């Protein structure tokens, strides 16, 4: 089988997505630098293709416990479930300005990308969870897919950004004209009641890599 540079990197992206991670999350899990599989690292500054090493591929297989055959199947796949790239941002960065518009839709630059194998709305994006404050529901490195155009109902898992730049991932417990009540996943962290005027936007989590 003759492989192209693009095929190999596409297989790594698909492998990461299959295991519920971004390319950077997969690199960290494999004990590599988080930027090892980033798109910016796939071409050298001189414009030459940079290929992943066999050592790095061996490490990602060892870290996930996946057999080589699984990776080879992704290399040779000619069809299958369509995928598309979603904007991806780390949870720690989501509170910074410039990444979202006033409606909570992705905006600006600085986003990475993650391949997602299911059909989602055109405005969907991904957030990579960091830390342990959302355990046991979400763990460090999990990816959640957020749909800002989906209706939000009681009991949904949501991402909320306040006008002060705080970003929260919790369960919507109750919503009134004046407040929203949020249930924390981790019992070590209290539930929150936020004034509606302090909420910049709220969006529904439609999928997670658990």
Residue 123, H or E segment: none
Which residues lie closer than 8 Å to 188 by C-beta, 6 or more apart? 133
Query: What per-residue confidence (pLDDT) applies to 82?
Result: 54
Instruction: Quote the domain boundaries for residue 172.
Output: 84-208
Buried b (16+ CB within 10 A) or exposed e, 158-189: bbbbbeeeebbbbbbeebeeebbbbebeeeee
Instruction: Please give the tally of structural domains in the chain.
Output: 2
Domain boundary among 76, 93, 124: 76
91 and 64 in a common domain: no
The band of 8, judged by pLDDT with boundaries at 50, 70 and 90, is: confident
Q: Cα(195)–Cα(30) distance, rounded to whole angstroms? A: 42
147 and 123 in a common domain: yes
Distance of CA 167 to the CA centre of its chain: 15
115 and 199 in a common domain: yes
pLDDT tens figures, 30-81? 999 988 988 888 888 878 888 888 788 889 999 999 888 788 888 776 444 5
125 and 98 in a common domain: yes
129 and 35 in a common domain: no
Q: Cα(57)–Cα(36) distance, rounded to whole angstroms? A: 11
Domain boundary among 47, 76, 105: 76
What's the pTM? 0.63
Domain boundary among 76, 105, 135: 76
CATH number reported for the structural domain that contains residue 110 in this entry: 2.10.109.10
169 and 115 in a common domain: yes
CATH number reported for the structural domain that contains residue 9 in this entry: 1.10.260
52 and 151 in a common domain: no
The tokens of 96 are what? 């910074």
Residues of the chain above pLDDT 70, percent: 91
190 and 162 in a common domain: yes
Q: What is the largest CA-CA distance in the chain?
A: 62
116 and 51 in a common domain: no
Q: What are phi and psi of 146, to 5 degrees?
A: -115, 135
204 and 125 in a common domain: yes
pLDDT tens figures, 79-115? 445 566 788 888 888 888 788 888 888 887 778 887 7
109 and 16 in a common domain: no
179 and 103 in a common domain: yes
């Amino acid at each position: 089988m003759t492989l192209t540079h693009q095929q190999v990197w596409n297989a790594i992206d698909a492998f990461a997505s299959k295991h519920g991670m971004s390319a950077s999350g997969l690199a960290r899990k494999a004990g590599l630098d988080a930027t090892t599989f980033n798109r910016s690292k796939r071409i050298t500054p001189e414009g030459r293709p940079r290929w992943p090493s066999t050592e790095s591929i061996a490490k990602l297989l060892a870290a996930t416990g996946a057999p080589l055959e699984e990776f080879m199947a992704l290399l040779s796949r000619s069809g299958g479930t369509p995928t598309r790239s979603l904007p991806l941002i780390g949870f720690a960065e989501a509170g910074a300005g410039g990444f979202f518009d006033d409606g909570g839709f992705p905006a600006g630059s600085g986003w990475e990308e993650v391949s997602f194998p299911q059909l989602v709305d055109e405005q969907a994006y991904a957030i990579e969870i960091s830390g342990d404050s959302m355990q046991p529901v979400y763990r460090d490195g999990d990816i959640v897919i957020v749909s800002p155009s989906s209706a939000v109902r009681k009991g949904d898992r949501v991402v909320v950004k306040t006008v002060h730049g705080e970003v929260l991932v919790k369960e919507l417990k109750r919503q009134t004209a004046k407040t929203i009540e949020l249930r924390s996943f981790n019992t070590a962290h209290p539930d929150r009641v936020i004034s509606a005027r302090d909420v910049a936007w709220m969006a529904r989590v439609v999928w997670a890599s658990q």
